[in-house]
Amino acid sequence: MADKGLDLEYHYSPSRWSHRYSPDDVIDAHIKFMEDHTKTAKWCLEVETDICYGKTQNQKIDVYIDKKTNKKGSPIFAYLHGGYWQALSREDSGFLAPPLAQAGATIVTIGHDLAPTASMDEIVLQVKRALAFIFKLAKERQSSGIYLCGHSAGAHLAAMMLMSEFEEDDAFDCELIKGAVLISGIYDLRPLVTTYVNEPLKLTREDAWRFSPSNFINEIARMSQSREVILAVAEYDPPEYRRQTGEMEKSLRDKGVKTKYYDIPDTDHFNIVEKLHNANYTLTQVKYSSYY
Ligand X SMILES: N[C@@H](CC(=O)c1ccccc1NC=O)C(=O)O
Catalytic residue numbers read 152, 237, 269
Amino acid letter, 186? I
CA distance 227 to 131: 16
Residue 74 beta carbon to ligand X: minimum distance, rounded to whole angstroms: 28
Residue 208 beta carbon to ligand X: minimum distance, rounded to whole angstroms: 15
Q: What is the full DSSP assignment across 31-58?
A: HHHHHHHHHHHHHHSEEEEEEESSSSTT
Q: Rg (Cα) of the chain, in Å, rounded?
A: 18
User: Per rule CB under 6 A, is residue 14 in the interface with ligand X?
Assistant: yes
Interacting positions 24-53 with ligand X (CB under 6 A): 27, 30
Nearest to 21 by CA among 8, 34, 30, 9: 30
Q: Which stretch binds ligand X (CB under 6 A): 10-18, 132-140, 174-182, 221-229?
A: 10-18
Q: How many residues bind ligand X (CB under 6 A)?
A: 12
Of 27 and 96, the one with the shorter C-beta distance to ligand X is 27
Question: Which CA distances in Å does 251 have to 19, 41, 78, 219, 256?
Answer: 30, 37, 24, 12, 9
In this structure, how many other beta carbons lie within 10 angstroms of the beta carbon of residue 98? 23
Q: Per-residue x/- marks for ligand X, 139-178, CB under 6 A?
A: -------------xx-------------------------
Interface with ligand X (CB under 6 A), residue from 83, 104, 145, 200: 83
Whether the CA torsion 102, 275, 157, 258 is positive or negative: it is positive
Continuous segment of H or E residues that includes residue 252:
helix 239-254
Interface with ligand X (CB under 6 A), residue from 13, 40, 102, 282: 13
CA distance 179 to 191: 27
Of 28 and 46, the one with the shorter C-beta distance to ligand X is 28
CA distance 75 to 178: 10
Residue 71 beta carbon to ligand X: minimum distance, rounded to whole angstroms: 33
Residue 155 beta carbon to ligand X: minimum distance, rounded to whole angstroms: 8
Q: In what order do the strands lie in the sheet with 228-236?
A: 46-52, 60-65, 106-110, 76-80, 146-151, 177-183, 228-236, 258-268
Interface with ligand X (CB under 6 A), residue from 82, 99, 111, 213: 82
Q: Which stretch binds ligand X (CB under 6 A): 23-31, 55-63, 103-111, 140-148?
A: 23-31
User: Per rule CB under 6 A, is residue 15 in the interface with ligand X?
Assistant: yes
Of 13 and 40, the one with the shorter C-beta distance to ligand X is 13
Residue numbers at the binding site for ligand X (CB under 6 A): 13-15, 23, 27, 30, 82-84, 88, 152-153
